[in-house]
Homo-oligomer: A and B are copies of this chain.
Amino acid sequence: MTRRKANADERRRLLCDTAIQLLALEGAKGLSHPKVDQRAGLPAGSTSFYFRTRASLLLATTRRVCELDLADLSAVLEPRGDDEGGISPLAALIMLSAQEPRLSRTKARFELILQANRDPDLATVFDENIALFAQVQRDIVIRSQPGRDLDPATVDEQVSATLNFVSGLFMRLVAGQRAFDDGPHLDRLLAGIINGIAAVHQDTADEP
């Protein structure tokens, strides 16, 4: 990669990171090319040079959010030392997301998800990201139940229920509410949901 190309990529990342901050602070209505220029400390017209339309700025920002989300996911999936409390990767990810600067990204993500409702290109980026998260969460859910006889439909529902729970939890964090005590507390809640869904499926399977 040439120096020029590397600088351009770096500039695009800076602009998208700035757009994420603006979305968190002012919502979709507060996002504009001039505001991104100003907040990033760049000359007027910089954002328009790299992202000609609002749609292209939103798309690049959505890709950046997903890229950062996946980097966090990879980080929590790394083997960790015992001194980090031994909480599950999902609980670790929620703990991370509850604090700045990631809380701003959580806010921006909701703004972009609502935009995606009206923009199929954004929806495609999110769909791919969610599918990847669901796959990883599936592995986590299966590994959390050693020795239990699991059918795929049960695991599907465990994944779906925990991801719904986490999305609702994030919405509470965005609204400034206290949603959990600590990592072990989160893991107890997640285990409760996973075990409870398994038990309901078992009961249904046992019916004559």
Query: Which residues in A have some Cβ–Cβ distance to B below 8 Å?
Result: 25-29, 107, 110-111, 113-118, 123, 126, 157, 160-161, 163-169, 171-172, 174-176, 179, 188-189, 191-201, 204
Contacts and interface: CB of A to CB of B under 8 A. Distances in A.
A204 B175 contact: no
Given A27-B118, A164-B168, A168-B166, A197 B193 contact: yes
A192 B196 CA distance: 4
B165 A164 contact: yes
Nearest to A26: B118
Given A192-B199, A196-B196, 16 more contacts: A26-B118, A27-B28, A111-B114, A113-B174, A114-B174, A116-B175, A117-B175, A126-B175, A157-B192, A161-B193, A164-B167, A164-B179, A167-B171, A192-B198, A193-B196, A194-B196
A78 to B, nearest CB: 26
Contacts of A113: 171, 174-175
> Most chain-B Cβ atoms within 10 A of its Cβ — which of A126, A163, A201?
A163
> Most chain-B Cβ atoms within 10 A of its Cβ — which of A29, A116, A126?
A29
Contact of A197 (B107, B157, B176, B196): B196
